[in-house]
Amino acid sequence: MWVNSELVADRQVIQAMTAKVRGVSASLLFSVDVLEHASRQSRGAGAFVSVGQLLAAFEETDFDSPPARGQLWLSGFAEDQDRCVPSIAPPVTVCGARINAGSWGAGLSRASKFAGYTERTVVLRTEPRESSAALLEASFYGVGLVVGEGVNETILAAPAPFEPERFSLASWLFAEQVYREWLLSQ
């Protein structure tokens, strides 16, 4: 069972919500960077919803000229000699996704939408018919498999830890999508 909201560090608050992200409804566990969130809120900014907005946020600005319109969404600027460098951070870090499904195949297909972004677990009401094949696939793809919910939950396969090799533009946009859904749920 995931906590709803818990302060885990001076900058991070753990949140849990169910949302539709990347076309899939999932229960998401994530931490919110409270400093980044507060900075965006103080500027009347929200989530970056397009690649163009996110790329504009990384543009450098000369001290002699004001920030471009797209840069008004930034958390701030860091001084670096004769230029202004945008100082932003991903607003959330997604720790896991739980996908409820009627069958292992459907759950695995939906969980694949989160590959490359976070740890994934498929939750089924009953054990799959071909349990040994499902466990083999779960192990191969690194997807957790759980049967039941709450106190009746049985973990058949734990998800592989998510350890990204790099943080990509796609990863950042995924974080922004989750942040947007969280803002809408507030």
- pLDDT confidence of residue 85: 53
> b or e along 81-107 (b: 16 or more beta carbons within 10 Å of the residue's beta carbon)?
eeebebebebbbbbbbbbbbbeebeeb
3-state DSSP helix/strand/coil percent for the chain, to nearest 5? 35, 30, 35
Assigned token pair, 83: 């230029």
Structure tokens at 96: 């896991």
Amino acid letter, 113: K
pLDDT, position 61: 46
Mark out the alpha helices in the chain (DSSP H runs). 34-42, 51-57, 104-111, 131-141, 169-185
> What are the 10-residue block averages of pLDDT along the chain, 186 residues in total?
48 85 94 87 83 72 48 46 63 94 96 95 95 95 94 94 86 93 92
Integer Cα distance of 48 and 31 in angstroms: 17
Please tell me the predicted confidence (pLDDT) of residue 53: 80
